Chain A
Amino acid sequence: MTTETILRVTGLRKQFGPVKALDGVSLEVRAGEIHSLLGENGAGKSTTIKCITGAYKADAGEVLLDGVAISPQSPREAEQLGIGTVYQEVNLLPNLSVVENIALGRMKTGFLGRIDWKHSRVRAKAALDKLGVSIDLDEKLSALPVALQQMVALARALDVDSKVLILDEPTASLDEKEVESLFQVMNRLRESGIGIVFITHFLEQVFRMSDRMTILRNGKYVATREAKGLSREALLQDMLGKAFEEMQGRPGNLNTFSEGLSGKENRLVVNGLGAPGKIKRLDLKLKPGEVVGLAGLLGSGRTECARLVFGIDGATGGSIELDGKAIRQGHPRTSIDEGIMLASEDRKTEGIFPNLTVRENMVVALQTRRGFFKPISKEEGDRIARKYIDAFKIKTSGPEAKISELSGGNQQKVLLARWLAAEPKALILDEPTRGIDIGARAEIEKLIESLSREGLSILMISSEMDEEVRCCHRVLILRDREVIGELSGDDVSESEIVKLIAAHA
């Protein structure tokens, strides 16, 4: 293996408004290596890639390809320079043929712009051969399985003499067999001397495939590590930004509360819930007032669990019981009627009604629970809204303000109020503190505690492990879409969670 550096990125900076997305990111990729780019949500992986390929213009920093400074104005130009990129979502044209997809935008043209298809076919064939796959060039793209579509995307990225290939979560939509064949192709490309930048959330794949890895956190460069001999603990510490010693234990009162639960009947029982590509198997028991956390890295299947339990996605197997009664799955409406509710992580697309008022946003779930013909009068809605505005200290000009005029944290509180107003028995909170300031975070944590004391069962998901440690009586640990362990009592601590995530399967 050569050790010649083919792509060198130094001091990359990029700011969006007041937000520093990248703050001095560096990356060095050698020819003939697979180099993983790692980091949690918001670490800056995608932004880094976009700055390298010219999709974004970096505010500062340098990109050297083969020792020559480049500043491509578009991904297309980057491709011509030798940096090919394949994105998570296959962004090809489904109704065109394989050869058209590979050749599009770079076709050799002759007299009066006539396209030289012969030439395009030869080059497409060569690119596919390089990958070691054979696909009928005239097949319509949409007729191919996703994995082969991905190969076409790869062939497109490789059509020119690529030196660097960037793979942004290429395995996310593939099954195990498909992942294997992608890995074979990656190995083949590595041997041919291409430098591969590999982005994935699956730690198994990172350790299996990469030679080295660069870790980013909050837009900053953390470290570059050799994969050989690197412990998972060390990697997680880099990613999460905490040494084990700094990781917090938990408040003692959580344990005493848990002890009081032992005699009570289960509120929510989830048995063997699963769906391919989402989560392998989820077993879960929640007692009244119990707060259980789902911990794991991004992509470990936390949100998928929440969506399956709530019924927004359909499960292929398993059962859900609430207070001993079986719940029909796959129907959010039924879940809400029975008292299982989900405050989604995606406030904007799955939460707020931007043009409706604070009051309307708060009562909508209660209204669906009551049904068409028992409307919540404006007066009653107003009472509900004022109650929660006071209780949660929501900053708004009043119940009739448009919710989109509120800050993110206050919108989040309105959404919490929406679910609490609908009187849930079991509430799933997916990233309840994402994108809100520290003060509001502390308030929401306090709120979770008081809800728990009132007997509400809560399933909580948070990327901030310390938050789960402070709030949850028990924590289930997920890795690669599977529950791999459980912590309770004094064992609930950030370091234990990290150890479990890091442990080999």
Chain B
Amino acid sequence: MTGPRHDPDLIRPYVRTGGRVRPSRDVRLETVVIAASGGTETLAPDARRVMRLFGGGGRGGLAVADIAAALELPPSTVRILVSALMDSGHLTSPVPVEEGRPGLDLLQEVLRGLRELV
């Protein structure tokens, strides 16, 4: 074996996620989450790393993609970790996930926001 033993690439994604292979809820790359409550002592190492990123809360939200980049974890793995942490109440989303294709109302908001930039 070459490289350090803690090289994250040596670990299969389903080991990191406690055997889960897909998110338990609709968590997307752009889903925003904030720290809620709950002790982290019982969490698996990767879940604890996610929570540590939030530093106990109060620092604002991050999207799943931001977490994946900061922790250098595959986004597919982070989607699963975040959905489990939402199930356990450690994370919560201030942004309701909109099912299916984006609605007209979201498109219009984005359009208005972009037009304000130019």
Q: Does A pair with B?
A: no
Residues of B within 8 A of A (CB): none
